[in-house]
Amino acid sequence: MAAESGVAKTTSYRRYADREAVLRAALADAIGHPDATVAATPRERAREALDQTWRQMTEVLGAGGLAAIIGDTDPRFTELFRSVLHPYRQALVDLIRADMGAGDLRPDLHPDAVASVLVGAYLGELVRRGRVDPGFSETCVDLIWAAIAAKPVGR
């Protein structure tokens, strides 16, 4: 870290106690907060929230962060990396709950399970193909929408 930044190692450790503190500070800067979805329809809002979550998995965590979560070789780092996804996953869950309350989604859904299926699709595609192509979130929302959308009255 010090060599790449051009800063002496001692300078880094004056500010940060250890590598975990450096990583925590870098992640805190990179994480940010989920943007409010502005799409007009519940389906479009779900896709926007999913895209934001997947962007965190790709751009902030990257392959190394995801491997740390899956491998759980260092529980402190695992929890740190999970914390990156939490606000985004929670925004997706909250959106699902709100759309359930508005009658746009089935009232008997388990919002956390729906979010896990959608987030898990990213990992499945990454394992299967080594990448997640743009537009894959649209495909995933299309597939699950029929199962989660509220049924029209009279059906």
Give Cβ neighbours of residue 55 (< 8 Å, ≥ 6 apart): none
Residue in the structure block whose two tokens are 């990179």: 30
- Does 95 fall in a domain? yes
Whether 12 is covered by a domain: the verdict is no
Which pLDDT tens digits describe the chain residue by residue (155 residues)?
556 666 666 665 677 777 777 777 777 676 667 777 777 788 898 888 888 888 888 888 888 888 888 888 888 888 887 877 788 888 889 999 999 999 999 999 999 999 999 989 999 998 899 889 988 999 999 999 989 999 865 54
Alpha helices in the chain (DSSP H): 2-5, 9-15, 19-31, 42-55, 62-71, 75-101, 111-129, 136-148
CATH number at residue 110: 1.10.357
- Asked whether residue 93 is assigned to any structural domain, the reply reads yes
Residue 9 lies in a domain: no
Is residue 18 in some structural domain? no
For the chain, the domain total comes to 1
Q: What is the pTM of this model?
A: 0.75
d(CA 86, CA 128): 24
